[in-house]
Structure 1
């Protein structure tokens, strides 16, 4: 390996490190900018790229809920139905039963894909699940359902929302602009399924509910997985865009779904790789914050850096000689994590990943160390920016500052946080750096799994009319 090749690669890595730098001053600017965008989004509809969607969830479960509640989680090619039996503060979740159902592709797009057929299929599976569960544990009590619908909706109440557009593999044209809850309710009636829709939520709001069920001090929830988002508990009188008739009647809180993935600011540390990725994406110019943080993109950023190195020198072989370096998204975040955590003396995990994923073989130990360094730079930027976002939310609601003695809990779900240990440690250490050791000790970040399932049932319980 020539010294010139190593030097050329080093210049690329050095440039990456400089462009991804997140010193404390920059992170403070990111937190302040996000808090400002949140304010703007609460003031007027469409006033910010951070949408600040009002969820109409004005009460959260506290652990005292009792009874059986159902949840429907629709967000991909499979959907889940659940029944959760809650037994009060002593036993909490006494029972949880779930079933996953694949959706026939013809109902997701194409000539057979209509709103009536799609929601009819969902209602049929739900009715079958309820029947298989046998008699209701609550006797004559009306069954209540929480509906997690992971597509963009314009919500108008706790249990209604019109579909803005489909994403992922779905294209059911006649459902766009329609109330998805009404469509499902109609389908359930046709299957003689007597169930009240108590709540329409997304997975971030569900994570907040799941977290608050076990801990009264939860003030926010963050998704750090394939995508990223955050929800938090806001004072109702701070939401200027709400009409008086839309304000909660029995509380002064409202859960806000921030949609913080759309946050953008000049203070965000973007690189040439991020700009190229954005330009080639399905949504150029949008979801800037998400593209810097979430699991969908970290592997792709690392791949683009490796591609540039291969164009400058021969450390990774000939880019035109059979490698997969030009294949977009061939490198995943689990790949990045496994290489980043490789502690073998010869970095054999890195060597295997490069061979299996990119068809790059025969790399030197020095080259493999460089790959680990690139993973570290990209993941560290992501973790530190995620921490800055959390601090931005805490600042917005007056939490975590000097003199605040309250305990503030942030519930987090998603594989990036749960399975990527170095990401998680960097995020936690950055929170301490930004808040100070004393204040950070009162801010707890904890895992809250299955917000899209359990959380939906819990929101239904908190908004039960029985």
Structure 2
């Protein structure tokens, strides 16, 4: 089992400091988190079935599978377009201007705005209009416009959007501003009009769809875009004929393909398809949205550190970690062990695990023993490897679905992005290896992997707006 191999490797890497009880509990945890290749193959098959169900009319499928009609490869000959991304928390708004010349991107300018007060956060669309005004003035964009001309604006949001109505169609996730039922295009348009800005709201898409638009613009083989940030989501290109809710190709306005926002983090909500442990159930139970988005809670940046923290506190309760260390209360606070700590801890190969010691001392004020550090590193690896292998299964299912839809049009690539993959090479490489192994077992043609630049969803949003 993969998890047990991790423990064995840890034991070989100078784990003589561990007692028999510490080693036994670590092995039990590793066994609980291990996911076999056979389990992953079953998850891939279930994901494929749920994606198929989600494309049909009037089904109660686990996945969202909302179509968005986009034309990823067509670029305007010239001009400037704006892309704006509204983060799921509502506190951050990112804006970019994209200048096109001869059908290519000539230049881009990006800026991030953070709501300075609770009042600005509460008035999200007023704050968005303020950000747009500041951005346009700071970069002199209005001076380039002809009389009566307006800048096309594409909005990307971190929640599922009904493409036909621009409405957010899911309740807020963890730490999210609740936009459920909001017509994003209408509310941004009203805010823009009230601020007298030279902007027209041309499109509203989910950020995974925007990432897919940008990926296809750079590489025509890209038919899947998976984003691993605070949450996890993916979009892929589908044959319109297979999407019943579009009522055939005519519903897609003659497009060769439609982008499907899968909301794949929902997978497992209506079944026992995922290998949940008692620690996963605890994190889910204590979350703001219990029983919602179970796959996301196993693979996304927001949750991995919290799973590790729950394992740590259980070792502490058994007096197998930080015994006699002093004040360890800081690590009892929920979500205090950030996922960002996992990568440097896993990568620490020094004899005394100096990086692990530094994290524990600086972030929690804990003086640790060598055994403590070995346990922390092993727990991080166990949680990270399971997340990576499940992510690989997710990518394999998406690649198979996209390849089936593109069987007549050549190669298929998967575009990957997100802070989790950028900052954690172990998760990134392990996920890709798991995907490739699962696809090889299905005798699928090789799937390419593309790494997107941070902020490409803004380019995608600007591209979508420039065509409308």
Fold shared per TM-score above 0.5: yes
Query: After the TM superposition, which of the residue ranges 194-203 and 444-453 deviates more from structure 2?
Result: 444-453
Q: How far did 1:127 drift?
A: 3.4
Alignment of 1:26-425 (within 5 A): 26-45=39-58, 47-54=60-67, 56-62=68-74, 65-75=77-87, 76-88=90-102, 92-103=104-115, 104-109=117-122, 113=123, 118-132=124-138, 133-135=140-142, 137=144, 139=146, 142-157=150-165, 160-162=166-168, 165=171, 177-243=181-247, 247-264=251-268, 265-318=271-324, 321-364=327-370, 366-399=371-404, 406-425=410-429
Decide which of 38, 54, 62 is 1:25's aligned counterpart: 38
Aligned residues of 1:146 and 1:198 also touching (Cα < 8 A): yes
Q: How far did 1:419 drift?
A: 1.5
Q: How far did 1:191 drift?
A: 3.1
Quick one: distance in 2 between partners of 1:319 and 1:431?
42
Q: How far did 1:291 drift?
A: 0.7
The equivalent of 1:14 in structure 2 is 27
Aligned residues of 2:325 and 2:368 also touching (Cα < 8 A): no
Query: After the TM superposition, which of the residue ranges 214-223 and 237-246 deviates more from structure 2?
Result: 237-246
Q: How far did 1:317 drift?
A: 1.6
The 1:417–1:121 alpha-carbon spacing in structure 2 relative to 1, beyond 3 Å, is closer
Q: How far did 1:245 drift?
A: 9.2
Query: After the TM superposition, which of the residue ranges 337-346 and 130-139 deviates more from structure 2?
Result: 130-139
- Where structure 2 has 5 or more consecutive residues not aligned to the other structure, the ranges are 1-15
Aligned residues of 1:227 and 1:294 also touching (Cα < 8 A): yes
Q: How far did 1:72 drift?
A: 1.9
Quick one: distance in 1 between partners of 2:402 and 2:367?
51
- Where structure 1 has 5 or more consecutive residues not aligned to the other structure, the ranges are none
Q: How far did 1:378 drift?
A: 0.8
Q: Give the secondary-structure state (helix, strand or coil) at the position aligned to 2:359.
A: helix
Aligned residues of 2:215 and 2:415 also touching (Cα < 8 A): yes
TM-score by length of 1: 0.86
- In angstroms, what is the RMSD of aligned CA positions? 3.0
Quick one: distance in 2 between partners of 1:362 and 1:81?
44
Q: Give the secondary-structure state (helix, strand or coil) at the position aligned to 1:145.
A: strand
Q: How far did 1:361 drift?
A: 1.4
Q: How far did 1:78 drift?
A: 2.7
Aligned residues of 1:210 and 1:448 also touching (Cα < 8 A): no
Aligned residues of 1:163 and 1:180 also touching (Cα < 8 A): no
Quick one: distance in 2 between partners of 1:353 and 1:285?
32
Aligned residues of 1:224 and 1:416 also touching (Cα < 8 A): yes
TM-score by length of 2: 0.86
Q: How far did 1:93 drift?
A: 2.1
Quick one: distance in 2 between partners of 1:404 and 1:59?
18
Q: Give the secondary-structure state (helix, strand or coil) at the position aligned to 2:295.
A: helix
Q: How far did 1:310 drift?
A: 1.8
Q: How far did 1:225 drift?
A: 1.9
Q: How far did 1:393 drift?
A: 1.3
Q: How far did 1:278 drift?
A: 0.8
Aligned length: 446
Q: Give the secondary-structure state (helix, strand or coil) at the position aligned to 1:284.
A: coil
Q: Give the secondary-structure state (helix, strand or coil) at the position aligned to 2:55.
A: helix
Residues 132-174 of structure 1, C-alpha deviations (whole Å, 9 max, x = no match): 41456574654211011234544425xx3256555666768xx
